[in-house]
Structure 1
Amino acid sequence: MALYNQQKLRLYNSIASEKQEFVPIHEGRVGMYVCGPTVYSNVHLGNCRTFISFDMIYRYLSHLGYKVRYVRNITDAGHLTDDADQGEDKISKKARLEKLEPMEVVQQYTLDFHNVMKRFNSLPPSIEPTATGHIVEQIEIIKTIIEKGYAYERNGSIYFDVLKFNEDHQYGRLSGRNLEDMIANTRELAAQSEKENPQDFALWKKASPQHIMRWPSPWGDGFPGWHLECTVMSSKYLGETFDLHGGGMDLKFPHHECEIAQGEAAHGHSPVNYWMHANMLTLEGKKMSKSTGNSILPEELFTGENDFMEKAFSPAVVRFFMMQAHYRSVLDFSNDAILAAEKGLHRLQEAISLLDHLKVSSSSSIDIPAWVQKCYDAMNDDFNTPILIAELFEGAKMIHSINESNETITQSDLELFQETIHAFLYDVLGVKSASENEDATSGKHMDAAMKLIIDLRATARARKDFETSDKIRDELAAAGIQLKDGAEGTTFTTK
């Protein structure tokens, strides 16, 4: 029997503003969509927290035995600099500033995003579609929305008619906003826009002559609205109504509100059953912001090259630190807090290392099944990772108690204990084991040492000291390290 039949999962549904029992549309299967990054710069730590939170959710659903189709998009067009309908496309702006093709920018920062998430031990999604790969589908859904009377054209741009939509549906339900209040607060702006109403949002924007990223459409050359891509890609791969939609709290309005409106306008019913939102990350009590200098990139944490932390921290420690707060809570990043998390993770891993050496007995004096259920109860309560971690520390105490005192454990209970603590720390929370972290650290140290050796050899060759240069190459080869000189410099491989 699958675990999901034995464990009742409750999650906080943002659109209902309450915890609800999770019942998927199709038994044993889950469709989950998460808004991915806009790839115009290095992914920042706040974004990472959102993606790590939904990776944990993906992992737990999979652990329960659900077959999860996890779709996370790449926004590579249509996201304007002010997150609305005016301004410049973020990727086009970056391309113009750096004198690159937009797709060079997309490739560079998509690779950065993937590398960072891999270091955080996040699993790749089942499908990772791009906005530019679905232009045709976006044009088609715009046609449908126009045909149903919920959109109009102005000067080659197409806008969603929020007032018309609100006659038949409820705009603002997710964010708890009242349309009349929104209109009253923005009435002065009406004359400054080609839109019929300031709350209307772009489905398609006419491209100005200088706009780099553009596609032909029935309304002329242009590009899709930021909100539209997620409606198209989620419905294409998960259906017109699917189970879970996630993203950062900052996307609730207008992005997710607009997604709901587009989905209901096109298909006649709500696109998502459960909306989930991860909260923000602060740094030393203040909102993270590049403009104020109060920000830190993941790589700066891993190397220690930043002005906030006293030392470098491994991705596993950073991830464990993030799991110590509930995904819906604001998490403050500080030197003292992450130092405490590092010590806590080491204590847990030290206790786990004792499991293989515990003596078994004919009876257990500790109720292991009850402890196991407490771990599940924590995760079944809206993925409450702080409570789960508290239970894992209780498990560590039990390990020490069995190891150092008269407490006893049977072989079957020991196996259950080992299986559970490994499953929750490494598989569900996604923290790499101590041995995996040692391997990663060793690799990093190897790279640094080899860079120094290659630089020393290059200096010897520049001085025409070929005896030293050849000696370095030959002795490395004898040790199983092959140097390769090329136009881009010297690289190495290991046998």
Structure 2
Amino acid sequence: MTELRLFNSLTRQLETFTPVHAGEARVYTCGPTVYNYPHIGNMRAYVFADTLGRVLSYKGYKLTHVINITDVGHLTDDADTGEDKMEKMAAEKAQKGELTSIWDIAKHYTQAYWDDIKALNIRQPAHWSIATDYVPQMIAFAETIADKHCYELDSGLYFDTSTVANYGALARAKTEDGEARIDEVEGKRHAADFAIWRNTPAGETRQMEWDSPWGKGAPGWHLECSVMSEALLGLPFDIHTGGIDHREIHHPNEIAQNQARCGSDHSGARFWMHNNFLIERSGKMSKSSGGFLRVQLLIDKGFHPLAYRLMCLQAHYRSEMEFSWEGLQAALVRLKRMVMAIAALKARHAETATRHAESPTRHAEAAPRHAETSPRHAELVSASYLATSESKTLKQVQGDVPLAIQTTLDDFGAAVTDDLNTAVAITSLETLVALKKVDIAHQLAAIAEMDAVLGLSLLTVTRQDLRIRPKTATITEAEIETALAARKDARAAKDFAKSDAIRDDLIAKGVEVMDGDPLGWDWKLDV
């Protein structure tokens, strides 16, 4: 198979992936700060990380993926100014009379994030690492580097960035505006120095604070990821992922801590990978205005969340991606085309399997050269594809893989191993789905293999699942289907007045009857 080549932000080059531990791939992904709901730009980062993990599994590596949950220590500015995001949210809720503890806030928004993870078919990592579970380890880590690399101020323990080699190399801070984002804190030796422990100010009480050698307080955001990645993956590990905004401050600070811990040649991860921003017409996705797009909003408007996953996969992860409702609609149509074509293949395969089961000898004579004709094989393959897809592999289908199918598999493999070029990989999948006169068992198995990488649930999602049904709709699906059946009968009887009356009534209730739908006679709700 083709070598896996990935873009390393640390070197700004494509590099061949060679694991630290043979046969394994250890990946750490910067997870959310659970003070608010994640927006769809945030979730793009996790679709990217999930795709990376799926490609590593596809390449045969034993994957250990860690995603952290930051429930303490992340300030409203990514550097060293502002309030802790969690404490700030708790204070805002208290001002509104919502006496919710910071722990309950973290629990609520963590669950909301996990709901989005499930909706987007993102695989569960090996570990969800919760920051507050690792505070003792964070204090111990800081103690091991404090003498040589840190200094104390009244506000806490600060890391002296001049004590490590090539600080900011990941961000290219001097040329890419990294340092310009860092505000001065009184007493810091250098502008880029950062807090690894923040003391609770005199006279204040935090909901989350711990005793430490430097005073009562809380860990810095940057310290958390260094500690959790080492605890769960060891140093060095293979790949660290995150949004491109982390490349400027957060990840350089992690690297500095890792160098202090392990030596100047150790950045912590061999590869640092970053996805680019999601852009909406008003600018970068942001929560600062209080109004932002969530996965749940897409669902409420009637869009299946896998349409957004496909939208992400259509763009390269290192490219900016523009979101629009028109673009989401186009992705939904593309997804529906694939789902419908695959459903037709499954139906044909089930019919063939049934015929073989009823009369295996007669049908064996007419079977394609590579088709397996035993009733037991037909039963297993049919049951597998009618139930679930991603567990099915080509190795479980007897006979040689037809050349046309193998060619599309090779093209697909070349695309995903070329720095996760999912946009090209999707076209290979569509080519595979459209192949004619090939063994359907092999075709479906190859589709399952590709879908295991793309994560679109193509063999289990139905056309009905993809219908646009806004949350605000008052008409039920059963009522729509009854009306459409009556309209069909009216059209068959050439009672066009009745047909038009039914259509007009549906339109008045927000149902668009798509007579000209190239995918077939369908409907969608537009409320």
TM-score (norm 1): 0.79
2:297 to 300, 306, 309: 300
1:86 deviation in Å? Answer: 2.2
Q: Which residue is equivalent to 1:95?
A: 90
Q: Distance in 2 between matches of 1:369 and 1:287?
A: 41
Aligned to 1:431: 456
Letter in 1 for 2:41: G
Q: Is 1:322–2:312 an aligned residue pair?
A: yes
Does residue 29 (structure 1) correspond to residue 19 (structure 2)? The answer is no
Secondary structure of the corresponding residue to residue 32 of structure 2: coil
Q: 1:172 aligns with which of 165, 168, 185?
A: 168
Aligned pair 1:154/2:170, yes or no? no
1:48 and 2:43 correspond: yes
What RMSD in Å do the two structures reach over aligned CA positions? 2.9
Distance, in Å, in 2 between the alignment partners of 1:386 and 1:193 is 48
Contact 1:248 1:278 (8 Å CA) reproduced: yes
What one-letter code is carried by the residue in structure 1 that aligns with 2:446?
Answer: T
Larger deviation, residues 346-355 vs 254-263: 346-355
Q: After TM superposition, give the deviation of residue 433 of structure 1 in Å.
A: 3.2
* Contact residue 68 and residue 131 of structure 2 kept, 8 A: yes
Q: Deviations over 1:215-261 (max 9, x none)?
A: 10011101111100000000111111000000000100100000000
Are residues 120 and 80 of structure 1, via their aligned partners in 2, closer, same or farther at CA, if it must alter by over 3 Å?
A: same
Which whole-Å CA distance do the structure 2 matches of 1:332 and 1:445 have between them? 23
User: 1:123, CA displacement in angstroms?
Assistant: 1.0
Instruction: Map residues 451-466 of structure 1 onto 2, 5 A cutoff.
Output: none
Q: How far apart are 1:173 and its partner, in Å?
A: 1.0
Mapped to 2, the partners of 1:340 and 1:129 lie a distance apart of: 36
CA distance in 2, matches of 1:144, 1:365: 59
The answer to which of 237-246 and 355-364 deviates more is: 355-364
Instruction: Tell me what 2:358 maps to.
Output: none
Q: Does 1:348 align with 2:373?
A: no
> What is the percentage of aligned positions where both structures have the same residue?
35
- Is structure 2 residue 200 aligned with structure 1 residue 207? yes
1:368 to 2:397 alignment: no
The aligned amino acid for 1:174 is L
Distance 2:29 2:135 in 1: 19
Paired residue total: 419
1:177 CA displacement: 2.1
Query: Structure 1: which amino acid aligns with 2:430?
Result: F
Distance in 1 (CA, whole Å) between partners of 2:333 and 2:474 is 28
Instruction: Answer yes or no: is the 8 Å Cα contact 2:433–2:443 preserved in 1.
Output: no
**How far apart are the structure 2 equivalents of 1:26 and 1:417?**
35
Q: 1:366 to 1:87 in 2, by over 3 A?
A: same
AA at the equivalent of 1:347: R
1:69 maps to 64
Q: Distance in 2 between matches of 1:182 and 1:318?
A: 31
* Offset from partner CA, 1:355-414 (integer Å, 9 cap, x none): 24278534899622122100100001011100001111222332xxx2xxxxx33x4xx4
- 1:33/1:76 CA distance change after superposition, 3 Å: same
Whichever residue aligns with residue 374 of structure 1, its letter is: D
Structure 1 unmatched ranges of 5 or more: 1-5, 305-311, 403-407, 452-495
Give the distance between the partners of 1:170 and 1:433, measured in 2 at CA: 46
Residues in 1 aligned to 2:67 and 2:281: alpha-carbon distance in whole angstroms: 30
Question: Residue 146 of structure 1: CA displacement?
Answer: 1.3
Q: Is the contact between residue 186 and residue 198 of structure 1 (CA under 8 Å) also seen in structure 2?
A: no
2:191 corresponds to:
198
- Do the aligned residues in 2 keep the contact of 1:35 with 1:246 (CA within 8 Å)? yes
Give the secondary-structure state (helix, strand or coil) at the position aligned to 1:354.
Answer: helix
The amino acid that maps onto 1:199 is A
The amino acid that maps onto 2:453 is V
Name the residue aligned to 2:230. Answer: 235
Instruction: Provide the C-alpha distance between the structure 1 equivalents of 2:116 and 2:404, rounded to a whole number of angstroms.
Output: 40
**Structure 2: unaligned runs, 5 residues or longer:** 94-98, 353-366, 371-400, 477-527
Which of 4, 7, 28 matches 1:12? 7
1:294–1:282 distance in 2 versus 1, CA, 3 Å: farther
Q: Is the 8 A contact 1:40 1:91 kept in 2?
A: yes
**Is contact 2:167-2:252 (8 Å) kept?**
yes
2:323 is aligned to: 333
- Answer whether contact 2:281 2:322 (CA < 8 A) is retained: yes
Aligned to 1:459: none
Aligned amino acid, residue 353 of structure 1:
A
* Equivalence for 1:281: 278
Secondary structure of 1:20 counterpart: strand
Tell me if the contact between 2:39 and 2:285 (Cα under 8 Å) persists in the aligned partners. Answer: no
* Larger mean Cα displacement after TM superposition, 204-213 or 428-437: 428-437
Q: Name 1:420's counterpart in structure 2.
A: 446
Q: 2:424 aligns with which of 356, 381, 387?
A: 387
**Using the alignment, how far apart are the partners of 1:381 and 1:196 within structure 2?**
43
Aligned-pair distance for 1:132? 0.8
